[in-house]
Amino acid sequence: MCLGQIGNLLPHVALSANLAQHLMPAWGMSAAEGGLLASGYAFGYMLAVPVLTTLTDRIDARLVLLCGSIVSGLATIAFGLFAVGFWSGVVIWSLAGLGFAGAYMPGLKALTDRLPAGNTSRAVTLYTSSFSLGVGLSFLVAQLVAEHWGWRAAFVVTGIGPAVMAVVCLAMEERRSEHKPGRLLNFKPVFANREALGYIFGYGAHCFELYGVRTWLVGFWAYVTAHQGAPSWMSPVVVSVVFAVISMPASILGNEAALKFGRHRAITAVMIASASVAVLIGLNVAAPAWVVALLLLAYGLTVPADSGALTAGMSAAATREHRGATLALHSTVGFGLSAAGAWGTGVALDVAGGPQSAAGWMLVFIVLAGGIAMGPLALLWSRAGETKSAIAAK
Task: Check which CATH number belongs to the domain holding 147 and give it.
Answer: 1.20.1250.20
Assess if residue 210 is contained within a domain. yes
Q: Residues of 277-289 as b/e, b for ≥16 C-beta within 10 angstroms?
A: bbbbbbebbebeb
Assess if residue 283 is contained within a domain. yes
Assess if residue 178 is contained within a domain. no
The domain tally of the chain equals 1
Indicate whether 125 pLDDT > 90. Answer: no
Assess if residue 307 is contained within a domain. yes
Assess if residue 154 is contained within a domain. yes
Stretch 191-212: mean pLDDT, rounded?
A: 94
Instruction: Say which DSSP state 116 is in.
Output: P
| C-beta separation of 217 from 241 below 8 A | no
Mean pLDDT of the chain: 89
Q: Which domain does 99 fall in, by range? A: 2-172+184-393
Confidence band for 232, pLDDT divided at 50, 70 and 90: confident
∠ at Cα 69 (77, 180), nearest 5°?
150
Assess if residue 177 is contained within a domain. no
Assess if residue 157 is contained within a domain. yes
48-68 pLDDT, tens digit per residue, is 988 887 788 788 889 999 999
| C-beta separation of 302 from 272 below 8 A | no
Stretch 373-377: mean pLDDT, rounded?
A: 95
Assess if residue 179 is contained within a domain. no
Write down the pLDDT at residue 284.
Answer: 96
Confidence band for 188, pLDDT divided at 50, 70 and 90: confident
90-108 pLDDT, tens digit per residue, is 999 999 999 999 998 888 8
Write down the pLDDT at residue 172.
Answer: 87
Query: How far lies 247's CA from each of 131, 257, 319, in Å?
Result: 9, 15, 29
Question: What string of DSSP letters covers 216-276?
Answer: HHHHHHHHHHHHH---TTS-HHHHHHHHHHTHHHHHHHHHHHHHHH-HHHHHHHHHHHHHH
